[in-house]
Amino acid sequence: MSNKWDDDEVLERFREYLRIPSVHPDIDYGDCVKFLKKQAEQLDLPVAVYELVPGKPVVVITWKGLEPDQPAILLNSHMDVVPVYEEHWTHPPFAAHVSEDGFIYARGTQDMKGIGMMNLEAVRNLKNAGVRLKRTVHISFVPDEEIGGQEGMRVFSESEEFKKLNIGFGTDESIPNPGPNVLITFHGERTSRQIKITARSNPGHGALLGEDTAGEKLYYIIDKFMKLRAEEKRKLDERNLWFGDVTTINLTQLEGGVQVNVLPESLSASFDIRIATDVDHDEFEEMILRWCKEAGQDVILEYLVKNPQVNNTKIDDSNLFWVAIKKAANEMGLTLNPVICPGATDARYVRQQGIPSINMSPIMNTPVLLHSHDERIHVDEFKAGIKRTEKFLEAIANV
């Protein structure tokens, strides 16, 4: 059934993108690439598709600046979205249905096809208005962010193709603000480490009280981590901190044993750890190794994921791009709330190349529904986000 929104060209482009089910697992990005090539053609802008990993294309649309030798601006977004539980959605998650009260329901409206389209529409509006920016702007669309970006932005950011883009500053995703007039920005990320600790011992009968059992050793390790977790939670609660300000530790898997009445030869515990940016990462690792030694013989630390520590982007007057963002926000009557990202985004790979990057979502007055049922954005807020993106883009591309 048609409604009053169906003849809106801006919304129709957005809804066309949302209807592409680029959902994990086993994504075929072909339709996304076709859609973005069509947008580039409509904008009369060159587009490049880099397939550094088979089946994992990176699409870059380029708007050349008046001073193309200046380091360029990167507006990044990802094409992939997380799976859905369709039975819990009010409207089909890939229909891009617009309700009578103006909400667009679809997976990706917030995370993060919405921001990708705001970037494109902002460039479209500025270009159609005859605006020329000092710096070249590259609008990138990458794969696989939702599964870690290893074959997406990580590979791309380390490539010669990326280096040739001459990026001087980048933007990426943040989260919507449920209220008005405040934009939540990320200038850094905690370091994700996933570890597995295995305790070994001689097997025996479950009726005995053996010495140095695998269970005793693993209990010692778990107890140490849980006490550290409790301390970090106490800091979070008592100091009114943001999740990104503390180290989070979660026991996520337990493995081992063959039978209830047999003392196991080995038991393992896996932890998801996000190390705060102000923690010495080498000392943190030494602490875990010390716990393993204290627990007894044959207690082994294994890294499942060991991301490197990446420096935060500076948010002081030494970063002229941040100064420009603050000035533009002030002119729009907006306040910036800069925090450390509690999760992980593709911006970490850009920062790892020594390029400052700020994660910012121009979405306000919107419930945070990333990865949730009924992910949605209001038509008015989507269009307001385009206008905000225009202002921010003009500011940073003219630094």
Amino acid at 252: T
Query: Among the options 80, 144, 346, 390, which is catalytic?
Result: 80
**Distance separating alpha carbons of residues 125 and 43, to the nearest angstrom:** 10
Q: Which residues contact 52 (CB under 8 A, 6 or more apart)?
A: 58, 155, 156, 159, 161
133 sits in which H/E element: none
Q: How buried is 204 (Cβ within 10 angstroms: 0-12 exposed, 13-18 middle, 19+ buried)? A: middle
Q: Is 145 a catalytic residue?
A: yes
pLDDT tens per residue, the chain (399 residues)? 556 777 899 999 999 999 999 999 999 999 999 999 999 999 999 999 999 999 999 999 999 999 999 999 999 999 999 999 999 999 999 999 999 999 999 999 999 999 999 999 999 999 999 999 999 999 999 999 999 999 999 999 999 999 999 999 999 999 999 999 999 999 999 999 999 999 999 998 888 888 899 999 999 999 999 999 999 999 999 988 888 999 999 999 999 999 999 999 999 999 999 999 999 999 999 999 999 999 999 999 999 999 999 999 999 999 999 999 999 999 999 999 999 998 899 999 999 999 999 999 999 999 999 999 999 999 999 999 999 999 999 999 999
- DSSP alpha helix (H) spans, the chain: 9-18, 30-43, 113-128, 155-157, 160-164, 214-238, 281-295, 320-331, 347-352, 379-397
pTM for this predicted structure: 0.92
Contact between residue 299 and residue 198 where contact means Cβ atoms under 8 Å apart: yes
- Domains 9-189+312-397 and 191-276+278-306 are alike in CATH topology: no
- Mutual angle of helices 30-43 and 113-128, in 10-degree steps: 20
The crossing angle, in degrees rounded to 10, of helices 9-18 and 113-128 is 150
The single residue of 145, 173, 245, 390 carrying the catalytic annotation is: 145
CATH no. for 191-276+278-306: 3.30.70.360
Is residue 28 annotated as a catalytic residue, yes or no? no
d(CA 18, CA 21): 7
Contact call for residues 5 and 103 (beta carbons, < 8 A): no
Domain boundaries, the chain: 9-189+312-397, 191-276+278-306
Is CATH 3.40.630.10 what the domain over 9-189+312-397 is classified as, yes or no? yes
